[in-house]
């Protein structure tokens, strides 16, 4: 069954495995007339590229993207944009030990059960490398959104027990600049220092850590989301849970909503100092009834710790016995730092698709477009 496409009008199809020859995406529904070359896409890939610092796997991949179709003289033509990244450092011998067992926390067991066998050289399609395609597609979506004034930022908001202190809605350009320079994609240098120390300790003990990514979108128009099944939050839930290792998605108040009362949770209205009606809080996180309300969109995504750890673990072998495994090889001790740009990309893809869908929601829009008013 086909599960490799996402989106309705702006549709992304990804392909490729960690140890195949290449990885890529076909981005369909890109509007014609967008200036686009690989320099628009490469920075997104660089943010998730391995090997850049001690908190990422040491696999060496340049992850250089090639645009194979869909542009002419530097502009998109309205036809599908095909994106290709060659794998160069597959080193499959690192993975030979895992052919005969099911690594705890990995998809080895479930792929075997579903498909009858698996590509035992690594994560295959469940590897983090699969996210290259969606990140490249997200770069295109982000560029289009940016031209319409929408700005999306995803960053690491906690590492294990260490959380940043500033609230997401108080962050500004300088914070996002700091996050872009941070090895852990954190906008808070103080928290980052503690987080790095915590991660170093995890690495030393052959362990790994979980964490959260927060994503915000500013200047989003009101009206995005298609009730009842394609609500803004429903499509974000779909998009973000499709990223490996995600265990929770929260919008606005998230899990804390469950222990609040209505009078605490409702975002009442007030007049701002410059005379504009605004909401006093943002428990809604920018979404009411599944439709954007023009406030800041606020999302939090919880990632589990990397399942590949070098500590010994008991696991199931394909011959049926239980035995010990110690996972060697090159692994990220922490997923969110590299996954932040993936969260940002999936958010961008979702928002752009909904912005396009929303253009047809009213008769007056149709009449205006087709010159009848």
Interface positions, 278-317, toward a second copy (CB under 8 A):
280, 283-285, 288-294, 302-309, 311, 313-316
Find the shortest distance in angstroms from Cβ 147 to a second copy.
7
Q: Which of 57, 126 has the CB closer to a second copy?
A: 126
Would you call 280 exposed, middle or buried from its count of C-beta atoms within 10 A (0-12, 13-18, 19+)? exposed
Binding mask 147-176 for a second copy (x = CB under 8 A): xxx--------x-xx---------------
Measured CA to CA, the distance from residue 196 to residue 284 in angstroms comes to 32
Span of 44-52, 123-131, 178-186, 187-195 interacting with a second copy by CB under 8 A: 123-131
- Rounded distance between C-alpha atoms, residue 23 and residue 184, angstroms: 25
Is there binding between residue 355 and a second copy (CB under 8 A)?
A: yes
Q: Which is nearer to a second copy, 43 or 369 (CB)?
A: 369
Shortest gap between Cβ of 291 and a second copy (angstroms)? 4
Can you tell me the distance from the alpha carbon of 351 to that of 258, in angstroms, rounded to the nearest whole number?
A: 26
Per CB under 8 A, 360 contacts a second copy? yes
Nearer to a second copy by Cβ, of 68 and 177: the residue is: 68
Q: Is the CA virtual torsion 217, 219, 222, 223 positive or negative? A: negative
Given the complex with a second copy, which of 141 and 179 has the nearer CB atom?
A: 141
Q: 297-303 and 71-72: which strand pairing?
A: unpaired
Q: Give the CA distances from residue 52 to residues 139, 177, 183, in Å, rounded to whole numbers and listed in that order.
A: 20, 18, 8
Residue 100 engages a second copy in binding (rule: CB under 8 A): no
Candidates 42-50, 183-191, 240-248, 337-345 — which segment interacts with a second copy by CB under 8 A? 240-248
Restricted to residues 195-214, the positions that interact with a second copy (CB under 8 A) are 202, 207-212
Tokens of 271: 């007049």
CB nearer a second copy, residue 181 or residue 327: 327
234 binding a second copy? (CB under 8 A)? yes
367 makes contact with a second copy (CB under 8 A): yes
Rounded least distance, CB 190 to a second copy, Å: 19
Tell which residue, 190, 111, 197, has the closest CA to residue 160: 197
CA separation, residue 146 to residues 143, 150, 309, 325, 347 (Å)? 5, 5, 39, 47, 13
Residues 6+ apart with CB under 8 A from 200: 54
The interface region with a second copy, picked from 38-46, 48-56, 172-180, 226-234 by CB under 8 A, is: 226-234
Nearest-CA neighbor of 232 among 223, 242, 245?
Answer: 223
β partners of residue 316? 102, 322
Are the C-beta atoms of 208 and 55 separated by less than 8 Å? no
In the region spanning residues 68 to 97, those forming contacts with a second copy, defined by CB under 8 A, are 68-70, 72, 75-82, 84
Touching a second copy, residues 16-55 (CB under 8 A): 16-17, 20-24, 26, 28-29, 31-34
Q: Which stretch binds a second copy (CB under 8 A): 37-45, 55-63, 120-128, 178-186?
A: 120-128
């Amino acid at each position: 069954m086909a599960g490799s496409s996402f989106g309705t009008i702006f549709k992304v199809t990804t392909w490729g495995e960690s140890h195949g020859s290449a990885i890529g995406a076909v981005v369909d529904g890109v509007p014609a007339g967008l200036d686009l070359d690989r320099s628009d896409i490469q920075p997104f890939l660089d943010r998730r590229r391995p090997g850049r610092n001690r908190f990422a796997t040491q696999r060496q991949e340049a992850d250089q993207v090639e645009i194979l179709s869909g542009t002419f003289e530097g502009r998109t033509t309205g036809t599908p944009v095909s994106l290709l990244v060659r794998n160069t450092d597959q080193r499959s011998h690192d993975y030979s030990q895992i052919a005969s067992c099911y690594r705890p926390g990995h998809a080895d067991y479930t792929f075997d059960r579903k498909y009858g066998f698996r590509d035992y050289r690594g994560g295959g399609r469940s590897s983090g490398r699969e996210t290259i395609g969606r990140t490249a597609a997200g770069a295109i979506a982000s560029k289009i959104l940016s031209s319409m004034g929408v700005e999306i930022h995803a960053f690491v908001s906690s590492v294990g027990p260490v959380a940043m202190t500033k609230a997401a809605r108080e962050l500004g350009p300088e914070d996002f600049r700091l996050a872009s320079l941070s090895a852990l994609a954190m906008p808070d240098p103080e928290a980052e220092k503690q987080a790095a120390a915590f991660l170093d300790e995890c690495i030393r003990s052959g362990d790994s850590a979980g964490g959260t990514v927060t994503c915000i979108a500013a200047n989003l128009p009101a009206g995005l989301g298609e009730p009842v099944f394609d609500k803004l939050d429903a499509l974000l839930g779909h998009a973000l849970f499709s990223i490996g290792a995600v265990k929770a998605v929260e919008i606005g108040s998230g899990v804390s909503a469950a222990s609040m009362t209505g009078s605490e949770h409702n975002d009442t209205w007030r007049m701002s100092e410059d005379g504009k009606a605004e909401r006093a809080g943002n428990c809604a996180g920018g979404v009411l009834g599944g439709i954007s309300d023009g406030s800041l969109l606020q999302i939090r995504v919880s990632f589990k710790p990397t399942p590949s750890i070098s500590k010994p673990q008991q696991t199931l072998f394909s011959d049926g016995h239980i035995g010990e495994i110690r996972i060697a090889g090159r692994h990220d001790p922490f997923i969110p730092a590299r996954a932040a740009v993936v969260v940002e990309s999936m958010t961008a893809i979702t928002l752009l698709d909904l912005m396009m869908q929303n253009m047809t929601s009213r008769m007056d829009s149709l009449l205006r477009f087709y010159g009848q008013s």
